[in-house]
Structure 1
Amino acid sequence: MSDTAPVAVVTGAGKGIGAAVARRLSDDGYDIAAIDLTFPAEADDEPDTRSRVEATGRRYAAYRADVGDRSECETIADTILADHGRVDALIHVAGISSRGGRIVDTTADELTRLLAVHTLGGFHLARALVPALRSSDNANIVLMSSLATSVPAAGSGPYMMAKAAAEALAYTLALEEAEFGIRVNIVAPGLVATDMGDKFVRAATGLDRAAKLDSGTPFGRVTRAEDVADTVAFLVSESARQITGQRIEVHGGLKTLSTT
């Protein structure tokens, strides 16, 4: 294993899109620093992701942290830098869903928690890791947003607000860090067949899994986590050297559930 391999920090890496991103970037030669609140204190994780990454010859290190907490973000960033000696990519995937109520029924605590995880987590990690990213010859930040910011829906105010703020963070970082060679982009998935996507589909349609909507979608299947991971991999690749400050939607043509 090379000591000079690039290092990708991936939040929300315990499952779903985050785990898919970790696996995909290891295919491209990245060592993975995986962050998730679900990881045990011993910093182990679901074995499938670890084994997939290590099978590529890359290093996989799991870290338990709540990205909605500033002190935990700062501590875990310092730990990762001490363990790996470098950071070349920050992929902020970690997220939580809202209860789906109207604004007048939304508590301040719920909104605060969504902003903390989706927006402030990326903010705190970027502040801590940008100095190291400036030393990379291919530095990237990718913040995970949502189709919800461009296709708003009643009942999802806190989630949309948090994701919109995360996008504002990304656009600002892209402008400020371009002179240091750091590219910053946004990936905005629509419905994805993950645990969170399944919960949304159950609430919206009564079906138990998002994948049961496959036959009614334009491309024949609901977006998978691997589709989103492929987009992230492109954005951090050498092929995307001139791409920064951009927002890419990944939805396979399914922008609402009205096609089902």
Structure 2
Amino acid sequence: MTNLEGRVALVTGSGRGIGRAIALALAQDGADVAINYRSDAEAAAETVSAIQALGRRAIAVQASVDSIEDDERMVDQVIDEFGYIDLLVNNAGIASRGRYVADTDPAELLRVISTHALGAHHVSRLVLPSMRSRPRGDIIMISSVASTGFAPGGAPYTMAKAALEALAFTLAKEEQKNGIRVNVVAPGLVDTEMGRRLVKALTGSDDIRELDASSPFGRVCRPDDIANTVRFLVSPQAEYLSGQKLNVNGGGSAFG
């Protein structure tokens, strides 16, 4: 498919995992892509090479999304390189430590919320002037079904994702008049590095595939499942969708 021909995407946290899968899917559909990473330059470079092999333009930009200064530099660099940004995926995220509220370090709470919610606010705000100048704009927030399950031991993470969704639904109403769609994609457990760490912490198992038999449709969710949902939401087929949340969890499992 080439229905994103001429569009420029910025995907935060896209050197690995879900972000990488999204970046590659958007490139496959015709977009040029800016790969944001915080610390793993090698992984980001590999993702850039994979996109270029598809015949699309790509760059890697280092920035910690919880830093306003980093975000300003990142957005300026992407616009200098490509001319504009009309597709943003706020994917960057970190896990919390699984402690109860009584035992949570306030610094952890601030770090998790700043990365997921405040960072997404910063980057969205910075791309809006460019996005408003384009025929169509899309902002996708990668949330989690944790924001509806509210399991004990996850307050920083669930608070951050709930705030991210509040941002999305507010922004969808604010930017509708400017031709910008804003939607939320909420995965359950996904076979990524973060997902494997979660499974090990909860079950002691080093093999996430042991959960395939008890998962919806006989397998744990894959990064491509999330990427395919994003590519639908930013496609012409989803032209009339905004302010929506899609839970990508196979209908629900023990992990969401």
What TM-score, normalized by structure 2, do the two folds share? 0.95
User: Contact 1:45 / 1:62 at 8 angstroms: preserved in 2?
Assistant: no
What are the Cα deviations for residues 46-70 of structure 1, in whole angstroms up to 9, with x where unaligned? 5542333112210110011100111
SS of residue paired to 2:35: strand
Instruction: Give the drift of 1:115.
Output: 0.9
Does 2:232 align with 1:231? no
| Paired residues for 1:93-104 under 5 Å | 93-104=91-102
1:37 aligns with 2:38: yes
The aligned runs of 1:209-220 (5 Å cut-off) are: 209-220=207-218
3-state SS of the aligned residue for 1:90?
strand
Deviation track 1:186-226 (CA, whole Å, cap 9, x = no partner) reads 00000000000000000111111322211111201000001
Distance 1:22 1:257, change over 3 A: closer
Residues 119-172 of structure 1: CA distance to partner in whole angstroms, max 9, x if unpaired? 011100111100101112221000110000111100000000000000000001
Contact 1:23-1:52 within 8 A present in 2 as well? yes
1:80 to 73, 78, 81: 78
**Does the aligned pair in 1 maintain the 2:181–2:241 contact within 8 Å?**
yes
What does 1:146-165 correspond to in 2, within 5 Å? 146-165=144-163
Equivalent residues of 1:183, 1:244 under 8 A apart:
yes
Residue 27 in 1 paired to residue 28 in 2?
Answer: yes
Supply the distance in 2 between the matched residues of 1:67 and 1:91 (Cα, whole angstroms). Answer: 12
Secondary structure at the residue paired with 2:139? strand
CA RMSD in angstroms, aligned pairs only: 1.4
Bigger Cα displacement from structure 2, 219-228 vs 51-60: 51-60
> Residue 247 of structure 1 corresponds to which residue in structure 2?
245
Residues 51 and 78 of structure 1: is their aligned pair in 2 closer, same or farther, counting only changes over 3 Å?
A: closer
**What's the counterpart of residue 167 of structure 1?**
165
Provide the C-alpha distance between the structure 1 equivalents of 2:40 and 2:73, rounded to a whole number of angstroms: 16
What 5-or-longer segments of structure 2 have no aligned partner? Answer: none
Consecutive unaligned residues in structure 1, runs of 5 or more: none
- TM-score of the pair, normalised by structure 1: 0.93
